[in-house]
Structure 1
Amino acid sequence: MSEIDPDLTESQADFARRLNVSRKTITVAKQAGRLVMRDGMVLVAASLARYHATAGGRADVAARHAAERGNAIPMLASAATGAVTSPETAGNEQIDADRTRYKAIALHADNQLVKLEMQQAAGQRFPLESVKHEALGVGGTLRAAIERLIDHTAPRLVATLDQAERRRIVAAEVDAIRTQLRAEFPRALRRLRRAKP
């Protein structure tokens, strides 16, 4: 079999046809982190390696399903040991299945971590400590504004007997707080962007 170009990409439907499996199987594999994607397309060589390396279940069952579909499943060499998996050498299926499942989970976690790092580098995500710091700052601004509202409006409210005038005074102070907070959020975002590593 000829070498596959490492930059070759295919749609999920084409990749499913390549493996002679359903599109749903490929969708589930993608969600489990068993495929390598680039711009919404399947990166064929890397995805084939990862798909076969994270294949779980029993080899004898897979062979039976392949026979029912009319084609044999090629035996795959394990990346770690070079051992060939076949129905005769399946051995302890439960341990292999668990190991494969946890390997797929670890690969998925690694993929998510890489995505997070890329989003953080692009300024779409920020470190949790920085976000907490800015949230505390915005909370402090809100608290100070509410204390100011009480200090500034209480004497005027006592001096005014007209209910409509009291409502107008409180509404004006609340609008001032709203304006102040609207201005504070973009400032906090700018500080987060400047502080990113």
Structure 2
Amino acid sequence: KFVRLREYNIHTNPDCVYENDLKDCSDDMIDLVPQAVIPHPEYDSESSNQQHDIALIRIEQTPPFTDFLRSICLPEQNFESSATPGKKLSVSGWGRTDIFKDNLGPDVLSPIKLKLSLPYVEREKCSKTFRPWSFALGPGQMCAGGERAKDTCAGDSGSPLMSYDMKRAIWYITGIVSLGVR
């Protein structure tokens, strides 16, 4: 097992994007062997609510930051205390999608990292949504989404949920994708 950095399309290397007749290629991908995987001490794989479904991965070396590999800031305060309903958040990942189902089949993960904008959903509305599944939102959990045909899916767990501060031009980690209603 390894941690792969600077990956976009798992079928090509290097990864290149073409925009307006310009070719922009990323740096080569990096595979790093984790030194340690540290699950949350309160994580319970048998629990239906998946609270504390998170782990830290310690890597030995810090790779150099480039246009294709950057750090992300931790929030200065609890996001929910300052968020307004509908605030746009971003998520990216290689989860299952309908885009490739005709070519690759319905249960295949995306070979290309996809990104999506989702609105923040206030706790009360989210709790009502999850009630039919007997799921209770934990104190460290929040919701984003609720728009038709826009969602994270199987394979996106662990992906970052991010917010952008336009005044400071800084990305913040707001949450981590864990589960959904489907």
* TM-score greater than 0.5 by the shorter chain: no
Relative contact order, CA 8 A, sep 6+: which one is greater? Answer: 2
Larger radius of gyration: 1
Q: TM-score, normalised by structure 2?
A: 0.21
Q: TM-score, normalised by structure 1?
A: 0.20
Higher strand proportion (structure 1 or 2) = 2
